[in-house]
Amino acid sequence: MDTAPPGVHAMIEHLIAVPQDRALIRTSPETLFERFGVPKDVWPVLRTGGRDDLAALRIQGNLVIKWLIWSGRPTVAVFPISYYFDRR
């Protein structure tokens, strides 16, 4: 796949412009997916995939981060700050 699946970029760009619709990501993502014509085989990745899974779909990086933040999923691996200091 050379480009993101149909509708994905338009859907996320809509959410940038219409922030009140972001709640649908958690409450009724299917409503968004259907409205923007996102293929059904992509839905599971959008619902639960991580950063690398979404990037593999060729979704633009900035839009991946926005989607993850709005869906309440981490955008980067988390590690304790002591990890850095313990190594010094």
Which candidate, 43, 42, 18, 45, places its Cα nearest to that of 28? 43
pLDDT at 71: 93
> Residues of the chain with pLDDT > 90: what percent?
73
**Mean pLDDT, rounded, for 25-38:** 97
Residue 73: pLDDT band with limits 50, 70, 90: confident
How many angstroms separate the CA atoms of 12 and 5, rounded? Answer: 12
pTM of the model: 0.83
